[in-house]
Amino acid sequence: MNETGFALDPRLAADTRPVASLPLCDVRLMNDARYPWLVLVPRRAGLVEIADLHEDERAVLWQEVNRAAAALRAVARCDKLNLGALGNIVRQLHVHVVARVEGDAAWPGPVWGNGQAAVRGDSQARLLIAALQRQLAAPGTPDA
Amino acid sequence: MNETGFALDPRLAADTRPVASLPLCDVRLMNDARYPWLVLVPRRAGLVEIADLHEDERAVLWQEVNRAAAALRAVARCDKLNLGALGNIVRQLHVHVVARVEGDAAWPGPVWGNGQAAVRGDSQARLLIAALQRQLAAPGTPDA
């Protein structure tokens, strides 16, 4: 796959930590302790809309979203998964995968644009990222 | 495909008008004149999460989301498409496809949970639905 010219948007880079590199997407953890929240970014230059991806890569994107969602649900409580592709502020194509819990900081509203992020300490972040990496590396669950 | 036992959630039914019936999903127009806003509902009983769909039907879901998005962009101004699958309030699986315009009522925030819907008159709704139906029926654009 052609990653020529791809560079992660600086705002996404600042708001997240790296978790894993899947065939198409970088998986990153949002720096917000209020929610277990992943962001998937296809490593393709110039993408804004999902329709900008070739059809075969769109299929890969959704497989990787499902895979990230399964990993998130394996390591965090999740009463309802939230998926979103908005891009109203950061235009570089990215897909949000959020584990929502009844009564969480934004419940039942969306997480986007809701208040200030809560700091997640380094050790907490490292533990969560390691658990996610184990799930994403687990065989037999490529698309659970 | 097996539609046994499927019934549209009464809240979704009350908040939307029917536009088209694709192979997997009903496409419906949200009753909110602030945004051109479609909702896709797979006609399968008991679905809550996208992961509840069989893998082949998940692929169809995303193809139909792309098809609905292309139709929406063909008939309405769209500076940025927003996709979302939340379900925090209505649990029946449904995917939102919203044409966002810079400066619209919720810009740049999400549409979900933002203020009160604005009434769209019957004639306006009928015109928009007819235009969407023409786009969704157009040959050669099953997955644009």
Containing structural domain, residue B51:
10-102+118-137
pTM of the model: 0.95
Cα–Cα dist B7/A37, whole Å: 31
Beta bridge partners of B58: none
Q: Is residue A142 part of a domain?
A: no
Q: Show which of residues 113-132 on chain B sit within 8 Å of chain A, judged by CB atoms.
A: 113
Is it the case that residue B141 has pLDDT exceeding 60?
no
pLDDT of residue B140: 54
Residue A83 and residue A65 in contact, taking contact as beta carbons nearer than 8 Å: yes
Looking at residue A138, what is its pLDDT? 79
The answer on pLDDT for A144 being more than 60 is no
Q: How far is CA B127 from CA A34, A95, B29, B130, in A?
A: 43, 32, 12, 5
| B61 inside domain | yes
Number of domains in chain B: 1
The percentage of residues in chain A with a pLDDT greater than 70, rounded to a whole number, is 95
Which class for A28: exposed (0-12), middle (13-18), buried (19 or more C-beta within 10 A)?
Answer: buried
List the single range of A7-11, A86-90, B39-43, B140-144 with lowest mean pLDDT: B140-144
User: Of the candidates B83, B84, B113, which has its C-beta nearest A50's C-beta?
Assistant: B83
pLDDT tops 60 at residue B9: yes
What pLDDT, on a 0 to 100 scale, did the predictor assign at position B138?
79
Chain A residues within 8 A of B69 when measuring between CB atoms: 49-51
* Residue B144 covered by a domain: no
Mean of all residue pLDDT scores within chain A:
95
Gap from B120 CA to chain A (nearest CA, Å): 24
Query: What is the rounded CA–CA span in Å between residue A120 and residue B120?
Result: 44
Q: Does B100 touch chain A (CB under 8 A)?
A: yes
Q: Is A79 domain-assigned?
A: yes
pLDDT of residue B59: 95
Specify if A125 maps to a domain: yes
- What ipTM goes with this model? 0.94
CB atoms closer than 10 angstroms to residue B89: 12
Q: What average pLDDT does range B57-73 have in this prediction?
A: 97
Pairing of strands B80-85, A80-85: antiparallel
Give the CATH number for residue A103: 3.30.428.10
Q: What is the pLDDT of residue A121?
A: 96
Residue A5 in domain: no
Task: Give every strand in the sheet of A25-30, ordered side by side.
Answer: A16-21, A25-30, A37-42, A95-100, A80-85, B80-85, B95-100, B37-42, B25-30, B16-21
Whether A27 contacts A136, CB under 8 Å: yes
Is B67 part of a structural domain of the chain?
yes
Q: Is residue B62 part of a domain?
A: yes
Mark yes or no for CB contact B82/A88 under 8 Å: yes
Suggest the residue from A58, A88, A91 to mutate for an interface test with chain B (most B CBs closer than 10 A): A88
Residue A2 has pLDDT above 90, yes or no: no
CA trace torsion B93, B24, B70, A84 (10° rounding): 20
B15-48, pLDDT tens digit by residue?
Answer: 999 999 999 999 999 999 999 999 999 999 999 9
Quick: pLDDT tens for B72-121.
Answer: 999 999 999 999 999 999 999 999 999 999 999 999 999 999 999 999 99
Tens digit of pLDDT for each residue in A80-120? 999 999 999 999 999 999 999 999 999 999 999 999 999 99
Does B117 or A143 have the greater pLDDT score?
B117
Shortest distance between the Cα of B108 and any Cα of chain A, in A, equals: 5
- Predicted local confidence at residue A37, as pLDDT: 98
Nearest partner of B122 among B22, B29, B37, judged by Cα: B29
